[in-house]
């Protein structure tokens, strides 16, 4: 039994030693630190967690942001995906393919070009003059998500309140109240 375990451990160690590290040329991945693409700079992909991406140059690949904002003042040649943040495209910005935003707002300035689809789920969309969209626009406002959630939350609160009141009445009903005090003596 121990020899099998030893052989397995040696095998895993050899595999780990032979593994090639991942290499991404010109990709930027940040956690909590802003990604800024300068006007004369070009990167491939930008992935950001708890931070924002400011694109003033060119992003050849995708921009993916969780809990942050995306500001486009240059070119984004592929997709922009944002969760819990805002997407702002300045006037005359170019987005090559799709914009997907969950729980945030998308603001497109004048003469912005979007190559394919725009999907805004549980947020808002503001579009300037002359915006060109090569595909579909799907916008689901936030109340579609928050209204049913608020109704469910209210029902749960009312049910818990009534159950507690019922238990309180049952508890007080089990114990006799003290007798009423005698009336004051008549003079």
Domains of the chain, residue spans: 24-141, 143-173
Token pair in block for residue 110: 């004048």
The answer to whether the CB of 64 falls within 8 A of the CB of 87 is: no
User: What is the mean pLDDT of the segment spanning 4-27?
Assistant: 69
What per-residue confidence (pLDDT) applies to 162? 95
- 114 bridge partner residues: 95, 133
Is a pLDDT exceeding 70 seen at residue 1? no
Considering only 16-30, 50-64, 163-177, which range has the smallest mean pLDDT? Answer: 16-30
pLDDT band at 15 (very low <50, low <70, confident <90, very high): low
Give me the residue label for tokens 């979007």. Answer: 114
Q: What confidence score (pLDDT) does residue 22 get?
A: 46
Kindly list the distances between the CA atom of residue 83 and the CA atoms of 52, 61, 100, 127, 167, in Å, as whole numbers in the listed order.
Answer: 11, 18, 8, 20, 43
Taken as a whole, the chain contains a residue count of 187
**Separation between Cα atoms, residue 128 and residue 99, nearest integer Å:** 16
Average the pLDDT over 106-111 and give the result. Answer: 91
Measured distance CA(21)–CA(27) in Å, rounded: 15
């Amino acid at each position: 039994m121990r020899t099998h375990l030893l052989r397995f451990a040696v095998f895993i160690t050899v595999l780990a030693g032979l593994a090639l590290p991942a290499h991404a040329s010109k990709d930027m991945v940040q956690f909590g630190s802003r990604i800024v693409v300068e006007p004369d700079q070009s990167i491939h992909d930008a992935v950001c967690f708890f931070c924002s991406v400011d694109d003033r140059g060119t992003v050849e690949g995708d921009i993916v942001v969780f809990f942050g904002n995306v500001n486009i003042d240059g070119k984004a040649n592929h997709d922009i995906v944002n969760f819990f943040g805002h997407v702002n495209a300045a006037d005359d910005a170019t987005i090559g393919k799709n914009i997907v935003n969950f729980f945030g707002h998308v603001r497109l300035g004048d003469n912005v070009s979007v190559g394919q689809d725009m999907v805004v789920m549980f947020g808002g969309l503001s579009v300037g003059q002359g915006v060109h969209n090569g595909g579909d626009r799907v916008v689901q406002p936030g109340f579609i998500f928050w209204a049913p959630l608020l109704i469910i939350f209210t029902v749960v609160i009312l049910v818990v309140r009534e159950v507690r009141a019922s238990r309180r009445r049952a508890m007080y009903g089990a114990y006799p109240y003290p007798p009423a005090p005698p009336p004051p003596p008549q003079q």
